[in-house]
């Protein structure tokens, strides 16, 4: 079963079929797809159903987390960890619906899932990559203690366009030394 994490303002837990209309509404605008590789635009209900159907399987097989970010019960975004067991590493990903930008929610959600990842999955390192130019995402990563590790020209491709990427990482040792990644209790 996917975990349920709580933070000061948010609950992070499994998507349910009832989330589909809210998910599609949040992803209707192009601003999320513009900065993410996997999210298409337009984003349809069929895209949402397919994506949610994979969550339980991805968790069961690889321990991958895709968690809904909820504010007072309302879906506002997604945060996730994609695990590569061979090197005890995970890739952090997140998006927040545009009406909720700038309130610290991505930072709060990402910090919680990173703490959970280190404490529950025996990870050595968590990485995250963002499109060059996505300064807000870089700022989120800096705020939760990640270090910028590199610039990767024409490193990814979306809709026939090559994309420059910026990579960030946080080792277990660095996370422990900050003392800021206190584990978020599960309910």
Residues that bind ligand COA (CB under 6 A): 32, 35-36, 94-96, 101-107, 130, 134-137, 139-140
Q: Which is nearer to ligand COA, 25 or 136 (CB)?
A: 136
Q: Which is nearer to ligand COA, 17 or 153 (CB)?
A: 153
Distance (Å, rounded) from C-alpha 157 to C-alpha 147?
24
Distance (Å, rounded) from C-alpha 180 to C-alpha 175?
7
Q: Which is nearer to ligand COA, 59 or 94 (CB)?
A: 94
Q: Which is nearer to ligand COA, 9 or 154 (CB)?
A: 9
Report, in Å, the least distance between residue 174 CB and ligand COA.
19
Report, in Å, the least distance between residue 101 CB and ligand COA.
4
Q: Which is nearer to ligand COA, 25 or 61 (CB)?
A: 25
Give phi and psi for 70, each to the nearest 5: -120, 135
Report, in Å, the least distance between residue 6 CB and ligand COA.
17
Report, in Å, the least distance between residue 1 CB and ligand COA.
26
Cβ burial of 79 (10 Å; 0-12, 13-18, 19+) is buried
* Cβ atoms of 72 and 61 closer than 8 Å: no
| Sign of the Cα pseudo-torsion (22, 26, 29, 34, in order) | negative
In the sheet that 5-6 helps form, which strands lie side by side, from edge to edge?
5-6, 10-13, 65-71, 74-84, 89-96, 125-131, 161-171, 147-158
Report, in Å, the least distance between residue 105 CB and ligand COA.
4
């Amino acid at each position: 079963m996917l975990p349920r994490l709580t933070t000061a303002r948010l609950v992070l837990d499994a998507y349910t079929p009832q989330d589909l209309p809210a998910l599609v509404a949040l992803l209707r605008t192009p601003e999320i797809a513009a900065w993410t590789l996997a999210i298409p635009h337009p984003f349809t209900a069929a895209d949402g159903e397919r994506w949610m159907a994979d969550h339980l399987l991805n968790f069961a097989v690889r321990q991958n987390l895709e968690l809904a970010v909820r504010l007072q019960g309302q879906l506002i975004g997604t945060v996730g960890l994609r695990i590569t067991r061979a090197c005890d590493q995970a890739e952090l990903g997140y998006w927040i619906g545009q009406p909720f930008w700038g309130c610290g929610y991505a930072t709060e959600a990402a910090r919680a899932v990173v703490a959970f990842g280190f404490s529950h999955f025996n990870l050595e390192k968590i990485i995250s990559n963002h499109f060059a130019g996505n300064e807000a995402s870089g700022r989120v990563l800096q705020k939760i203690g990640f270090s910028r590790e590199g610039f990767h020209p024409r490193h990814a491709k979306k809709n026939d366009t090559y994309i420059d990427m910026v990579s960030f990482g946080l080792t277990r040792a660095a996370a422990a030394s900050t003392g800021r990644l206190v584990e978020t209790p599960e309910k």
